[in-house]
Amino acid sequence: MSNRSWYYAAQGAQQGPIPEAELRNLVSGGVVTGETLVWTEGMAGWEKAGQIPGLMSHLGGQAPGRPPAPSNDMSGPIGMAPLSAKFGVWPLFGRALLMGIGELLVVPTPWVAVYFYRYVAENIRVPGRPNISFIGQPMEIWYVFMGMGALIYVNRIDSGIVHLAILIAQGWLGWMIVRWAVSRLASNGQPLPIRFEGSPLIYFGWYLFTIVSAISIIGWAWVLTAWMRWICRNITGTRREVVFNGSGLDVLWRTIVFVIGCAFIIPIPWVLRWYSQWFVSQFALVQRT
């Protein structure tokens, strides 16, 4: 630990890197306390100094002082910083079920979708970005959500041209939802300056490729993984790059387990949480090169 460089949060900003000897001096001077958020290579995210076993005692004990505000700088320290999520079994299942019902009824879709997105965002932990929230409003793109719900019924029309039009519409509407959802994320109540700038044509290409790859039974998992990585590469506005670390094999076998669990009905709430939390954990932030 003595050879590591440390980062700490002070005055609402990220400080560092500094050697451990300097961090020890800051503890002695009361600048770094047990409530101060710190980070060093190997840690999954920012933590309070007092919650890291042996850290404060190793540095000479906790000195009194006022805890600094957590950093709102997404530049973060260099290294992999994975996201994590902690969903409740029934809160997640209830909102997912409500969203499905809303799509069938079409009209409530914008409200139930925002309700679902807010819960998901509030339970995701992003290193260096405290208190993530979703600030989108139902009426901002209400026509997109209602269009997605209406396509469920239009799809019943037995016509090749209609089915092709539905396929194109679903890809286009999906792109609009992704672009809107990314731009409506906030940290500590402040909107994040991030945007999704992927081309709608390329997005539709990935969407179509994923559907076609289902013919191979297993190939879709690798296509979906590549699609997620493309989406991450097109998220801009931050100093840290969003990456997707999951492999095609990871996606495949977990999806199979998820589908089997859903087939038995009763395990659905538990496998839904298990799959969702794993999926979120495959996203991470790394310093842009």
On whether both 54 and 104 belong to a single domain, the answer is no
On whether both 46 and 85 belong to a single domain, the answer is no
On whether both 122 and 21 belong to a single domain, the answer is no
| Omega before residue 17 within 30° of 0, cis | yes
* Higher per-residue confidence, 82 vs 275: 275
Closest CA to 222 of 208, 196, 214: 214
On whether both 238 and 144 belong to a single domain, the answer is yes
pLDDT at 57: 60
The residue segments making up the domain with residue 92 are 81-287
- Answer for the pair 34, 18: CB distance below 8 angstroms, yes or no: no
- Whether 71 maps to a domain, the answer reads no
Closest CA to 193 of 164, 256, 236: 236
Instruction: Tell me the per-residue pLDDT of 148-176, one tens digit each, with 9 for 90 and over.
Output: 999 999 988 988 999 999 999 999 999 99
- Whether 235 maps to a domain, the answer reads yes
Q: Which of 42-46, 68-72, 181-185, 205-209 has the lowest mean pLDDT?
A: 68-72
**Confidence band for 79, pLDDT divided at 50, 70 and 90:** low
Mean pLDDT of 220-249: 94
pLDDT at 65: 39
Helix runs in 29-129, H state only: 55-58, 89-105, 109-122
The angle formed by the CA atoms of residues 193, 189 and 184, to the nearest 5 degrees, is 45
Cα 158 to Cα 35, 148, 153, 211: the distances in Å are 63, 18, 11, 19
pLDDT at 168: 94
Mean pLDDT of 249-275: 96
> What distance in Å separates the CA atoms of residue 103 and residue 237, rounded to the nearest whole number?
32
On whether both 185 and 270 belong to a single domain, the answer is yes
- Whether 73 maps to a domain, the answer reads no
Instruction: Tell me the per-residue pLDDT of 13-33, one tens digit each, with 9 for 90 and over.
Output: 677 777 777 777 777 666 778
On whether both 85 and 54 belong to a single domain, the answer is no
- Whether 76 maps to a domain, the answer reads no
**Confidence band for 73, pLDDT divided at 50, 70 and 90:** very low
On whether both 119 and 13 belong to a single domain, the answer is no
On whether both 51 and 184 belong to a single domain, the answer is no
Residue 160: is it exposed, middle or buried by C-beta count within 10 angstroms (0-12/13-18/19+)? exposed
On whether both 13 and 135 belong to a single domain, the answer is no
CATH number at 10 reads 3.30.1490
- Whether 201 maps to a domain, the answer reads yes
pLDDT at 45: 76
- Whether 178 maps to a domain, the answer reads yes
Spatial neighbors of 259 by CB under 8 A, at least 6 apart, are none
- Whether 149 maps to a domain, the answer reads yes
Query: Percentage of the chain surpassing pLDDT 70?
Result: 87
Domains of the chain: total: 2
Q: pTM higher than 0.85 for the full model?
A: no
Does an H or E element contain 287, and which? strand 283-287
- Answer for the pair 70, 132: CB distance below 8 angstroms, yes or no: no
- Whether 64 maps to a domain, the answer reads no
pLDDT at 2: 57
On whether both 239 and 126 belong to a single domain, the answer is yes
Cα 229 to Cα 45, 54, 243: the distances in Å are 22, 38, 6
pLDDT at 46: 78
Number of C-beta neighbours around residue 1 at 10 A: 12
- Average pLDDT, whole number, for the chain? 86
On whether both 22 and 100 belong to a single domain, the answer is no
Burial 172-201 (b: 16+ CB within 10 A, else e): bbbbbbbbbbbbbbbbeeeebebebebeee
**Confidence band for 77, pLDDT divided at 50, 70 and 90:** very low
> What distance in Å separates the CA atoms of residue 26 and residue 213, rounded to the nearest whole number?
56
On whether both 49 and 109 belong to a single domain, the answer is no
Mean pLDDT of 52-56: 67
Question: Residue 60 pLDDT > 60, yes or no?
Answer: no
- Sign, Cα dihedral of 176, 119, 238, 127: negative
